[in-house]
Amino acid sequence: MPRKHSRRVVAGLTLAALLPAGQGCGTAAPLEAPGSPAPSAATAPSAASPSPSPTAAPDPKLAAILAGKRKIIIHLIPADRDLSATYEGPIATGDGTDDGALFRILPAKNGRHLVEALRAREEGGRWCAAVQTEDNLTTLTTVECQEAAETTFTIEATGAVDDKKRPAHRIVNDDYGTVRWKPAGQVLFLDKAGDSPATFSFVDRGAA
């Protein structure tokens, strides 16, 4: 009997010597000998537990649009119209065929974006969508592109799609609220409160 006890001690020392350096007995994962019984019902995962839902693969076309690499039309889904930057500045809606309908979405700080209008202006420069308040209504216009509270927006996915299966988004400004659509008068405006925020999809029109 003493001799058998001695062999067990030697085997234990040999196993300790094989553990990776710095891995103490208190932190090492327990080794299971061949033929070890399966975990008890108290510790085994429940067979009825649902598997995690797979993460949807990112859409490379949408990623390129949000990275400023594509020219786009911004389609106003509820009205079946498209945003258009006018020569005078304000952003209106149209049928998407005029040169004011082309935009580019540019990444800004803290996950926000600038929305650049690609219509050329006589005064030159680059012009981006911006919030303006006039006649007690907060609407969209264009100003020279630079990051400011009025020019940066969050592009929020809604999880829905338009009739062409393009992802739908909301456009939100931190200070002024969500872009909304008033059918009476065909007015785009921003408000922090209210129902039915406007939703938009992005129509790819080639490399920017």
What is the residue-wise DSSP string for 38-55? PPPTTTSPPTTSPPPPPP
* Model pLDDT for residues 164-195, shown as the tens digit of each residue: 999 999 999 999 999 999 988 888 999 998 77
> Nearest Cα to 154, choosing from 181, 127, 178?
178
Which one, of 192, 188, 185, lies nearest residue 200 by Cα? Answer: 188
Give the number of other CB atoms < 10 A from CB of residue 119: 16
Q: Is 109 helix (H, G, I), strand (E, B) or coil?
A: helix
pLDDT at 16: 40
Round to whole Å and give the CA distance between 126 and 144: 6
Domain boundaries, the chain: 60-203
**What integer pLDDT is reported at residue 13 of this predicted model?**
37
Per-residue pLDDT of 92-115, as tens digits, reads 999 999 999 999 999 999 999 999
What gap in Å lies between CA 197 and CA 143, rounded to an integer? 24
Highest mean pLDDT among 5-9, 21-25, 38-42, 164-168: 164-168
Q: Into which CATH architecture does domain 60-203 fall?
A: Trefoil (2.80)
Q: For residue 196, what pLDDT band results from cuts at 50, 70 and 90?
A: confident
Rounded distance, CA 160 to CA 170, Å?
Answer: 11
In the chain, what percentage of residues exceed pLDDT 90? 61
pLDDT for position 11: 39
- In this prediction, residue 185 carries a pLDDT of 83
Query: How far, in Å, CA of 40 to CA of 31, rounded?
Result: 16
Handedness of CA 122, 123, 126, 131 (dihedral sign): negative
